[in-house]
Amino acid sequence: MSARTHLATVALGALTAAAGATAIEARRRVASRGIGALRPDTDLVRQVVARMTTPLLPDDYLHLLNPLWTAREVRGRVVRVVPETEDAATLVIRPGWGWSFDYQPGQYVGIGVSVEGRWLWRSYSITSAPRPDQRHFAVTVKAMPEGRLSGHLVRGLAPGTVVRLAVPQGGFVLPDPPPPRLLFWTGGSGVTPVMAMLRTLVRRGTMPDVVHVHAAPERSESLFADELRALADQHANYRLVEASRDRPVRVGDLERACPDWRLREAWVCGPERMLDDAEDHWRRAGLGDRLHLERFSASRTAEAEGGRITFAASDRVVEADGATSLLEAGEGAGVAMPFGCRMGICHTCVVPLASGAVQDLRNGDIYRDRQGIQTCVTAAAGDCTIDI
Ligand SMILES: Cc1cc2nc3c(=O)[nH]c(=O)nc-3n(C[C@H](O)[C@H](O)[C@H](O)COP(=O)(O)OP(=O)(O)OC[C@H]3O[C@@H](n4cnc5c(N)ncnc54)[C@H](O)[C@@H]3O)c2cc1C
Ligand code: FES
């Protein structure tokens, strides 16, 4: 028997045993918490597999069978890269073990890609409608000038590449059932979360009354333009208003583009200026609660001093400049940092600051020891230690 076959047999044995142990644990949960506790619990499976394969790591076995199987994290394989415009492409990803297709339309996923030996993580809105029967999901990436990862995703990623995935999250979602009247206002790559919402509505076969104002500098740069126009042809309830550099729709033009905007629940995603204007406009109209916004980036106005960052529990120390967030510094040093949006909204990245000071890159606020800090938007203000 070859070493590979032997290890594969051991892995299968471990998995079978794990399945048995999981069933016992599932029965215990149902007894104590009711039938709702039967939802697949990948953490539990991971724990059981880890127990069964000790002292070797379960990954040592699982990897051998399939590089998408890992007990530590969710992985995916890029199966297709589909060019959309000159500087944007859709990545179709087949996720591995631990992924769940019950994400909500509008949510985003964290994607980690190894570039020159370093894992870079970014968030991307899922553009495909959630479909458990499909085994794939899609994100659409626009290459940012001088961006460290987006250009590589659009132009440099070969089909077959294995990527790391963080579970889908985010509150910019389409409710089910949707409200009877909606306004989507999107600019540039901000159309991506709305695309998942529209595809979901089409799949469900129930198109409510939708006005969609979509802006792109030029027609050739407009993401999903053909699909959106086809949608407008096929669904009387879906009205598409296309804006461009020559025919802009600014917040002041809304009365003309969508006269009943006040009666509609609105989802807005696009460039920062557009989002700030929309926020202001809806708030002034006393309709702030009818507006949903998604920001793709946090504006950084401050730069910290930088310093030596100690990641106490991980036993890592790294020197970082004042423009590098603690999150990026930790990831660069191989620390398993928690994160979600990576832009100061979701608070998933909060870890305790044990000593020293850090500075908020959005507003320059300084935080000192013994409090929770958002590592995605703070940088070292001198030497500091964080508890991870
Ligand atoms: C919730 C959420 C959903 C998102 N969904 C999408 C999506 O669906 N599609 C999509 O395309 N993007 C999406 N994004 C944005 C995405 O996460 C990345 O921020 C984006 O792709 C840029 O990544 P990057 O690594 O190329 O840029 P980074 O390297 O992170 O740089 C960010 C910005 O700084 C600029 N910059 C970097 N280095 C320099 C430099 N030396 N000098 C001057 N400027 C510089 C870049 O041009 C870029 O504008 C989303 C973000 C969030 C938070
Ligand atoms: S990752 Fe969302 S606030 Fe930091």
Positive or negative, the CA dihedral 330, 331, 335, 336 is positive
Residues 6+ apart with CB under 8 A from 50: 57, 58, 71
- Do 28 and 34 form a contact (C-beta atoms < 8 A)? no
Is residue 143's pLDDT more than 90?
yes
Q: Can you tell me which atom of ligand 1 is nearest the CA of 345?
A: 53
Residue 210, H or E segment: strand 209-215
Q: How far is the CA of 201 from the centre of ligand 2 (A)?
A: 29
Choose the weakest-confidence range: 60-64, 223-227, 276-280, 355-359.
60-64
How many other CB atoms sit within 10 Å of the CB of residue 158?
7
CA 295 from centroid of its chain's CA atoms: 12
Over the chain, what is the mean pLDDT? 85
* Protein residues with CB under 6 Å of any ligand 2 atom: 339-342, 344-349, 374, 376
Indicate whether 25 pLDDT > 50: no
Q: Identify the residue whose C-alpha is closest to ligand 1 atom 6.
A: 124
Which domains does the chain carry?
Answer: 3-65 (no CATH), 74-169 (2.40.30.10), 181-294 (3.40.50.80), 307-386 (3.10.20.30)
Say what the pLDDT of residue 64 is. Answer: 55
pLDDT value of residue 118: 79
Share above pLDDT 90 across residues of the chain, in percent, rounded to a whole number = 65
Q: Which residue has the tokens 């204007």?
A: 277
| Residue-level pLDDT at 346 | 82
Name 241's Cβ contacts closer than 8 Å, sequence gap at least 6.
Answer: 211, 212, 213, 214, 249, 257, 258
376 alpha carbon – ligand 2 mean position (Å): 6
Ligand 1 site residues, Cβ closer than 6 angstroms: 108, 122-125, 139-142, 144-150, 170, 189, 192, 296-297, 341-343
The proportion of the chain whose per-residue pLDDT surpasses 70, expressed as a percent, equals 81
pLDDT at 24: 44
Which three-class secondary structure state does DSSP give residue 311? strand
pLDDT at 81: 96
pLDDT of residue 70: 53
The residue type at 241: V
Helix (H, G, I), strand (E, B) or coil at 341: coil
pLDDT per position as a tens digit, 39-68: 445 555 555 555 554 544 555 555 555 555
Nearest CA to ligand 1 atom 10: 141
Q: Looking at ligand 1, which atom is closest to the CA of residue 342?
A: 53
- CB under 8 Å to 165, separation ≥6 — which residues? 73, 74, 75, 76, 93, 95, 99, 109, 110, 111, 112
